[in-house]
Amino acid sequence: MIQVKHLSHSFGRYWALKNISFSLDKGDFLFLTGPSGAGKTTLMRILHGSLPVQRGIASIAGFDLKSLPEKRLYQLRRQVAIVFQDFKILPDETVWDNVALPLQVRGMVPGQVHKRVRAVLRSLRLDNKSWCQCREISGGEQQRVAVARAVVINPKVLLADEPTGNLDKKLSMQLVEVFRQFHLHGTTVVLATHNEELINSLPGAKILCLREGAEAGCNWESAED
């Protein structure tokens, strides 16, 4: 589902990624970890097609990212969803409208949209906020809206860049459980986090540690330890 070989990326003279290689099959769950500035967000943006492949090879959900023309990015993003650190939700729209938008863009019939949005909002404890404008809810709730909008399309690959950053421990664990359920149903998940407790909550998950743009050893051997 994801193949990355000898991937490097620079911003001017600064190398944000240095010779990264890994592969994920359908339904794999990967924790991407490392300190701030390690290259996690750069890697996520490349996998979502927001940054070009400069050196190396990267493919995701059947798309060769090095040769994918910009006019086909919309096809990639129907299969690969991302939760951004800065949410990118529409503050003047309701929670419901934000989550329904990607389904409406795809031309889904209203009855199916209603069913899918209602189920996702319930799973993320947002059903009581459905008709609130997003500017009226808390930062943690906005973060969950961003997650709901990503998962509502049932993507083949779900990328999540520090999705628990504004959440308390209880909500963080609930959110990881939502990701786990998608993973169990065959979605490939890549979740960037600093939180070792979250990583240890999912035995069997794969781990990729980055430091200064390069693959590095972690302080623990696997999520099972």
Residue with tokens 């889904």: 108
Pairing of strands 2-11, 14-24: antiparallel
pLDDT above 90 covers what percent of the chain?
Answer: 66
Give per-residue pLDDT as tens, 39-78: 999 999 999 999 999 999 999 999 999 999 999 999 999 9
Q: Any idea which of 38-42, 46-50, 107-111, 141-145 has the lowest mean pLDDT?
A: 141-145
| Burial group, residue 90, by CB count within 10 angstroms (0-12, 13-18, 19+) | middle
pTM: 0.87
Residues near 40 by Cβ (< 8 Å), separated by ≥ 6?
A: 32, 33, 34, 161, 162, 192, 210
Among 101, 106, 81, 108, residue whose Cα is nearest residue 191: 81
At 1 the pLDDT is 93
Q: Which of 195, 107, 190, 197 is nearest to 153 (CA)?
A: 107
- Indicate the helix (H) or strand (E) that contains 22: strand 14-24
Mean of pLDDT over the chain: 90
State how far the Cα of 81 lies from the Cα of 152, in Å rounded to an integer.
9
**How does residue 223 score in pLDDT terms, banded at 50, 70 and 90?**
very low
Domains defined along the chain, listed by start: 2-79+155-215 (3.40.50.300), 88-141 (no CATH)
Residue 4, strand partner residues: 22, 58
Q: How confident is the model at residue 219 (pLDDT cuts 50, 70, 90)?
A: low
Q: What is the pLDDT of residues 154-211, one digit of tens each?
A: 999 999 998 887 778 888 888 888 888 888 889 999 999 988 888 888 888 999 999 9
Q: Say what the pLDDT of residue 203 is.
A: 86
Find how far residue 93's CA is from the centre of its chain.
Answer: 22
Output the pLDDT for position 10.
96
Whether residue 222 is predicted with pLDDT greater than 60 in this model: the reply is no
Cβ neighbours of residue 50 under 8 Å, at least 6 residues apart? Answer: none
Q: Specify the 3-state DSSP secondary structure of 38.
A: coil
Kindly state the DSSP code that residue 26 receives in the 8-state scheme: T
DSSP one-letter string for 88-131: ---TTSBHHHHHHHHHHHTT--HHHHHHHHHHHHHHTT-GGGTT
Q: In this structure, are residues 195 and 176 in contact, taking their beta carbons and an 8 Å threshold?
A: no
Residue 30 token pair: 């990967």
Q: What percent of the chain has pLDDT over 70?
A: 97
Angle between helices 95-105 and 139-151 (to 10 degrees): 20
Lowest model confidence (mean pLDDT) among 33-42, 105-114, 164-173: 164-173
Which pLDDT belongs to residue 180? 86
